[in-house]
Amino acid sequence: MPENPAADLSPAGSPPDGFSAADFSAERARLLHAHAAGYSRLAVDNIAREFPSDIHHTMTEPGDFPYRPRERSPVFFGSFDWHSCVEMHWLLVRLLRTAAGAVPGPQIRQVLDRQFAPEALAAEARFMAQPDDALRQRPYGWGWALALIEETTRLDQDAGDADGRRWAAVMEPLGEALTSNFLTWLPKATYPIRYGMHSNGALGLSRALPYARRRAEGGDPRLADAITATARRWFAGDTDYPAGWEPSGYDFLSPALTEAELMTRVLPGAEFARWLGAFLPGIAEGEPAALFTPAIVSDSSDGWIAHLHGLNLSRAWCWRRLAEALPADDPRVPATLAAVARHTEASLPHVVGDDYMVEHWLAAYAVLLLS
């Protein structure tokens, strides 16, 4: 991997004059194809790596947790924790769909066929139906798991892929369990979770919404309606967000930008542009500066500090999504594209070859950004 794979994108930390969203779309496709094989190898290694494993469990009596990770969660046991393993599976399916010519497709399909066994996925559905286990993945793991199911469906829809069709079918029990979890939780979620880690409400809803909308197209609008109504209830009235207080020391998500990214999916274009102007009024001027400045990662081996690499790449993805949602001639677009370039340049070189505290999850955000 080159020392700085984003160098062509942003040699000076900002795009060249006249650099447009379309230009970045072409550049990110180039970067994705350049690094897809490395990302896929990393994901295949991660999903098979059972230890170290970060397991959280509330014990109610002696000996009520006698399992090793793969016995508790027979599909998503690797990659350090449940949600990171889900992300690595999503990455592999996403690359099959968006960069098929750049990855070892037969190997990936063989691995996923083994992982997506019906009995094992049924066990994952039961795992997510257990209150203690499900709550620990709310809403981050729930959203990423529904994004994985949606990705397998799109693999089928976009290319008539028989593997995607089969994988989507055997994942439906998990989709049903997670849909039930969301429908139980969202009416009770009086307040948004404005947090730069897994409990972040906006990111969880954003990852789940495409799956929910596909369910709606099939005649079941409950989840899509619940997500849309919750997003509006939580965020539609927000103005003058204090984004200058970001980042917090362990963030891998921007509370401000994940909220704005979700609202690109919920509000019609003109309404979103007006909402964004009230929510973050200084974008065109690059304010607040903290939101446009990549985070410094002082120690990649520290699992919490390493989160800041994810903050840089998830910010880049959010800024990209805002640029795509605004009119091409909107005066805020150049600033958003400059922020994409800076944040990409800061952390894309760390996806492969860094400490395991980075490698077990960061590639998912690289692929989310570039695909």
Domain ranges of the chain: 21-53+71-370
Model pLDDT for residues 163-213, shown as the tens digit of each residue: 999 999 999 999 999 999 999 999 999 999 999 999 999 999 999 999 999
Residues 6+ apart with CB under 8 A from 322: 257, 260, 261, 264, 276, 283, 332, 336
If we measure between CA atoms, which residue out of 98, 87, 88 comes closest to residue 33?
Answer: 98
If we measure between CA atoms, which residue out of 83, 368, 36, 25 comes closest to residue 210?
Answer: 368
Model pLDDT for residues 93-140, shown as the tens digit of each residue: 999 999 999 999 999 999 999 999 999 999 999 999 999 999 999 999
CATH topology of domain 21-53+71-370: Glycosyltransferase (1.50.10)
DSSP letters for 265-322: HHS-HHHHHHHHHHHSTTGGGT-SHHHHSPPP-S-TTSTTTTHHHHHHHHHHHHHHHH
> What whole-number distance in Å separates Cα of residue 257 and Cα of residue 315?
7
> What whole-number distance in Å separates Cα of residue 147 and Cα of residue 227?
14
Model pLDDT for residues 30-84, shown as the tens digit of each residue: 999 999 999 999 999 999 999 999 988 888 999 888 789 999 999 999 999 999 9
DSSP assignment letter at 348: G
Give yes or no for a contact between 91 and 43, defined as CB atoms under 8 angstroms apart. yes
Q: What's the pLDDT score for residue 4?
A: 43
Q: What's the pLDDT score for residue 18?
A: 61
pLDDT band at 14; cut points 50, 70, 90: low
Mean pLDDT within 285-309: 98
Mean pLDDT within 14-19: 58
pTM of the model as a whole? 0.95
Residues 6+ apart with CB under 8 A from 239: 278, 279
- Residue that wins the pLDDT comparison between 361 and 16: 361
- Residue that wins the pLDDT comparison between 19 and 141: 141
Give yes or no for a contact between 53 and 80, defined as CB atoms under 8 angstroms apart. yes
Q: What's the pLDDT score for residue 84?
A: 98
- Chain mean pLDDT for the chain: 94
